[in-house]
Chains A and B, each alone.
Chain A
Amino acid sequence: MQEIIVHKGEKKHLVIMHVAEECAQWQIKQEADSVLTVHVFCLDTTADTESSVILDIEQIGEHAETYIYGLGILTGKQQISVRTHVKHSVPNGKSNQLLKFAVRDEAKGSFVGELIVAPHAQHTEAMQTNRNVLLSPTATMHTQPQLEIYADDVKCSHGATTGQIDESALFYMQQRGIAPDEARRLLLAAFFHDVQTTLNEPAVEDRIQRKIEKIIL
């Protein structure tokens, strides 16, 4: 387990490139006015193993901001679980989570998003979004948003969906001459696009784009 403290007023960006065999765990505390951005990429398809990413984040100082963005493509017999635990212990904090997964073959994915707003953590703004697409009938994804909100003057929202590639979009694209594989590639790129644009680092963005294309082509 890695322990990190984001000090008062500090801005920290953490990019996690998940490795197939690894069970990785971070415990992060944020002091006042700190900004933490975490990107999680599950794009290592070299081994069919069980693995996990656990992010345990607590805001211990006021006016802290936490952003978690993630995307993953699970293939073969991989089983990957991503768990975020975000705790607002003090007032006036912000957090936003956006995680997207595409699951293929017989892979199994799981996302557990725990969001805790302590009784005195008033004026917290917290959002959590999880979107998943299943690329084969044998792929599965479990998504479990868990919100525990004990303060009454807060803005919190969450949403989770799991679906398939839109068949009508696929046919529409085919009717214009685009091969199904290319159409799926465009649709998946579109699916991940909003997560990728949060990187704001063209070099990393390109690297991620190449990895995605390598897997889905």
Chain B
Amino acid sequence: MLDIRNLHASIAGKEILKGINLHISAGETHAIMGPNGAGKSTLSAVLAGHPAYTVTEGEVIFRGKNLLEMTPEVRAREGLFLSFQYPVEIPGVSMTNFMRAAVNAKREHNGLPVLNAGEFLKLMRAKRALVELDNKLAGRSVNEGFSGGEKKRNEIFQMAMLEPCLSILDETDSGLDIDALRIVAEGVNKLHNETSATIVITHYQRLLDYIVPDFVHILADGQIVRTGGKELALELEQTGYAGLVNN
């Protein structure tokens, strides 16, 4: 599914990622944990193709293709989805128009006929139920005036609409109370299947009680310093990052 080899990336001349190697197969869930400034969000931004970052070395193969050569929108249409840590408010652009443009762009890319208005609204209704997203929110401008929890729920709703192969959840748990966390995690779990993969970026073990990873990677200073099973997250909770990195 995804093969990251010796990935180096920088922003404004400062190197943040210093040789990341990561292999992810279909059906797997990987957690990436690490202290502030380790490069977790940079990794997700680089994979999504954010223009502020420059890849200086290495390669990323996504479903057999060179990911780094694709524009951000082509990456998305090929099945890469990033749940943003800070979802952007877009006043005046309705959720419906936004999602219809996104879904149909992906369908066209994959040689499928675009959905008409009726088919599209039916799809919206079905997917909304999955994350218990209020109909009123779906009728508003993208993320405008949404609470922190509603924004994160809206990210998972969009993920459900787009049915990505690879979902990257960047600190989806930040700013969520326990009930919202449960709803969001349940949504992610329902969407996960043997043909898709998930990367969960988080600071805390808490989210991993709900989204159980197959692998946990510790990122520190731009490199993966340890990899283990889900027990590594528990160990981390006890020793802190300092303990782990020093071992």
| A168-B88, A171-B50, A182-B105 given; A176·B93 CB < 8 A | no
- Taking the complex as formed, is B92 at the interface, i.e. its CB lies under 8 A from any CB of chain A? yes
Question: Is A174 in contact with B101, judged by CB distance below 8 angstroms?
Answer: no
Nearest CB of B to A131, in Å: 11
Q: For residue A71, give the distance in angstroms from its CB to the closest CB of chain B.
A: 13
Q: What is the interface size of chain A, counting residues whose CB is below 8 A from a CB of the partner?
A: 21
Q: Does B162 contact A (CB under 8 A)?
A: yes
Q: Is A169 interfacial (CB-CB < 8 Å)?
A: yes
A193–B141 Cα distance when bound, in Å, is 12
Contact in complex: A178, B73 (CB < 8 Å):
yes
- Find out whether the CB atom of A177 lies under 8 angstroms from the CB atom of B90: no
Would you call B90 and A175 a contact (CB within 8 A)? no
Please name all residues of chain A whose beta carbon is closer than 8 Å to the beta carbon of B87 when the two chains form the complex: 172
Cβ-defined contact, B71 with A174, below 8 A: yes
- Is the pair A169, B51 in contact by a Cβ cutoff of 8 Å? no
B76 touches A176 (CB 8 A): yes
B82 within 8 A of A: yes
Partner of A187, one of B90, B109, B158: B90
Which chain A residue has the least Cβ–Cβ distance from B159? A176
How many interface residues does chain B have, given as a range?
A: 20 to 34
Let me know if A191 and B92 touch, CB within 8 A.
Answer: yes
Q: Which single residue of chain A is at the shortest CB-CB distance from B161? A: A176
Within 8 Å CB of B103, what residues of A?
A: 177
The answer to whether A187 touches B93, judged by C-beta atoms less than 8 angstroms apart, is yes
The distance in angstroms between the C-alpha atoms of A209 and B32, with both chains bound, is 46
Q: Which of chain A's residues has its CB closest to B86's CB?
A: A168
Residues of B with C-beta under 8 A to A177: 73, 76-77, 102-103, 105-106, 109, 162
- Report chain A residues within 8 Å CB of B49: 174-175
Q: Is the CB of A178 within 8 A of B82?
A: no
B88 & A174 in contact (Cβ 8 Å cutoff): no
Say if the beta carbon of B91 comes within 8 Å of chain A: yes
Q: Bits for B64-75, please: 1 = Cβ < 8 Å to A, else 0.
A: 000000011101
Q: From B88, B91, B158, give the contact of A190 (CB < 8 A).
A: B91
Does B48 count as interface, using CB distance less than 8 angstroms?
A: yes
Q: How far is the CB of B70 from chain A (nearest CB, A)?
A: 11
Q: How many interface contacts (CB-CB < 8 Å) are there between A and B? A: 75
Task: Please determine whether B51 and A171 come into contact, CB atoms closer than 8 angstroms.
Answer: yes
Interface residues of A in 175-191 (CB under 8 A from B): 175-180, 182, 186-187, 189-191
- Residues of A contacting B106 in the complex (Cβ-Cβ under 8 angstroms): 177
Min Cβ gap B11→A in Å is 14
- Determine the distance from Cα of A38 to Cα of B32 in the docked complex, in whole angstroms: 58
> What's the Cα separation between A191 and B92 when bound, in Å?
7
CA distance A168 to B72 in the complex (A): 13
**B97 is an interface residue with CB less than 8 A from chain A:** yes
What is the distance, in angstroms, from B124's C-beta to the closest C-beta of chain A? 14
**Contact (Cβ within 8 A) A175 B76:** yes
What residues of A have a CB within 8 angstroms of the CB of B97 in the complex?
Answer: 186
**Interface: B84 (CB within 8 A):** yes
B73 x A174 contact (CB < 8 A) = yes
Q: Output the residue of A172, A176, A177, A187 with the most chain B CB within 10 A.
A: A177
Closest chain A CB from B77 CB (angstroms):
5
Contact B84 A172 (CB under 8 A): yes
What are some 29 contacts across the A-B interface (CB < 8 A)? A166-B90, A169-B88, A171-B50, A171-B51, A171-B72, A172-B87, A172-B88, A173-B98, A173-B102, A174-B49, A175-B48, A175-B49, A175-B73, A175-B75, A176-B76, A176-B99, A176-B102, A176-B162, A177-B77, A177-B109, A182-B101, A186-B93, A186-B97, A186-B98, A187-B90, A189-B93, A190-B92, A190-B93, A194-B92
Known: A174-B72, A178-B101. 19 other contacts (CB 8 A): A166-B90, A168-B88, A169-B89, A169-B90, A172-B88, A174-B49, A175-B76, A176-B76, A177-B73, A177-B102, A177-B109, A179-B105, A180-B73, A182-B101, A186-B97, A187-B92, A189-B92, A190-B90, A190-B93
